Structures are given as structure tokens and as C-alpha cells.
Amino acid sequence: MNDDMIKLLAEKDGVICINFGSDFLKAAYDSSYERGNAAVAAYLKEHHMTENSPEGHEFKEKYRRSHPVGNVKDIVDHIDHVVQLVGIDHVGLGSDYDGVFSLPKGAQDVSGYPNIIDELLKRGYSEADIRKICGENTLRVWSEVERVARNAS
């Protein structure tokens, strides 16, 4: 989302959940998805495997985990940007672990969440703000969605 879209989202009391996919974090990482998939495809072809075979899937996951692109600071830079733009109440964590190829070092799966929280603490975020980022903001929005749905019936 661009800044204008984020501002409109905030005006409606919404939340943008930050995607951890490296391609979304920095322009320098834009082609990491294509490069990674090309490397995997070449290996699978050379070894007569398909991506959907157990061996192919295992190789792709091993490759993805051993080739991180960026780091946790890149994720928190995006959080900082949204907070500076529209405030702490409009940002959350989105990850997208099932939809991206390249992920930053230290955030390649949910075990990396403490790394993100540590970086937020280093940047001076309060525990209350971190709770908002880690889920309270999203729960606020879903509570409102449920309220509107009940009233629409």
C-alpha cells in the first residue's frame, strides 16, 4: 500500500499488517522471489524432481531457509514508517509465511517473532505499543467487524 492508501485506511480506523516477504520490504530485494524460484527450478530439473514431490518440496524449503534476504530491521523499518505516518493504532504483523519465497534473516518463521519484538524494544516502543502491533489492533478491527455484522442481521 502506498502512503495515501494507508492514510485512508487509518481514517476508517483500519490496520495494515506488515508483510514480511523480502520483496515487499526494500526495492533492492524486488527480484529475490524470481531469483529464488529460478534457482529451485533449475535444481529440480537437474535432479528430475517436481516441486510438488516430497523431495522437491523439502529442497525448496531448505533453499528458502538457507537464503534469507534482509533482516528483522527491514520489517521494523516498515512498522516505524506506518507509525510515523498514521500512528501506532493502525499497524500490525502480517507475515505471509505461506505466500512469499524470500524472508528476512531472523524472521523466517514464527520462531522469529521475539526478534521483531526485541527490535521494537530497542527502538523505544513501549510494551503497550508492542501489544497493539502484535494483535490488539487487529482484534479491535475484528471486534468492530463482528459488531457491524450483528447489527446488519
Q: What is the pLDDT of residue 51?
A: 85
Is it the case that residue 87 has pLDDT exceeding 90? Answer: yes
Q: What is the pLDDT of residue 16?
A: 97
- How far apart CA 98 and CA 109 sit, in angstroms, is 10
Is it the case that residue 85 has pLDDT exceeding 90? Answer: yes
Q: What are phi and psi of 69, to 5 degrees?
A: -125, 110
Tens-digit pLDDT profile for residues 93-142: 998 888 788 899 999 999 999 999 999 999 999 999 999 999 999 999 99
pLDDT class of 37 with cuts at 50, 70, 90: confident
Task: Report which secondary-structure segment, H or E, holds 146.
Answer: helix 137-152
Q: Which amino acid is at 66?
A: S
Would you say 112 and 95 are in contact if contact means Cβ atoms under 8 Å apart?
no
Would you say 84 and 91 are in contact if contact means Cβ atoms under 8 Å apart?
no
By percentage, how much of the chain surpasses pLDDT 90? 69
